[in-house]
Amino acid sequence: MHELSIALAMADELARIAGENNSGKVLHVTLKIGSLSGIVADSLRFAFDAVKLENPLLSSAEVTIEEIPLVYQCGDCRKTFSSDDMYFPTCPQCESVALKIVSGEEQHIANVELEV
Ligand SMILES: [Zn+2]
């Protein structure tokens, strides 16, 4: 259900973008989904297909979902590294836990192609 509410919010956003550009049809949309966002790409694709059926603006839109890996930067040695560990990550170089998330939290529309 989480993915469905996200798909609906994205459909609203797409309707706003299309309206601003006087377009009646979305041809292609690229979504960026970070691995920390908690969104399952396949579920989002499925939810988006359901939303498309109800929405003439999106009925023929192609959807590309880019999954963004979780990347941290170490606050001590500045190393940047990707990790699947979202609970207890440590720096592989100096074992610091003072880490900052660089990417992986994304859940947004990255690119939209409209029919004009
Ligand atoms: Zn480090």
Fold of 2-115: hypothetical protein PF0899 fold (3.30.2320)
Average pLDDT in the 56-75 region?
96
Break the chain into its structural domains and give their ranges. Answer: 2-115
* Distance between Cα 108 and ligand 1 center (Å): 29
What span, in angstroms and rounded, lies between the C-alpha atoms of 2 and 82? 25
Q: Which of 32, 4, 6 is nearest to 103 (CA)?
A: 32
Whether the pLDDT of residue 1 is over 80: the answer is no
What is the layout of strands, in order, in the sheet containing 80-82?
80-82, 71-74, 99-103
- 88 alpha carbon – ligand 1 mean position (Å): 14
More confident residue, 2 or 22: 22
Could you read off the pLDDT of 76-106 as tens digits, one per residue? 999 999 998 888 999 999 999 999 999 999 9
* pTM for this model (two decimals): 0.84
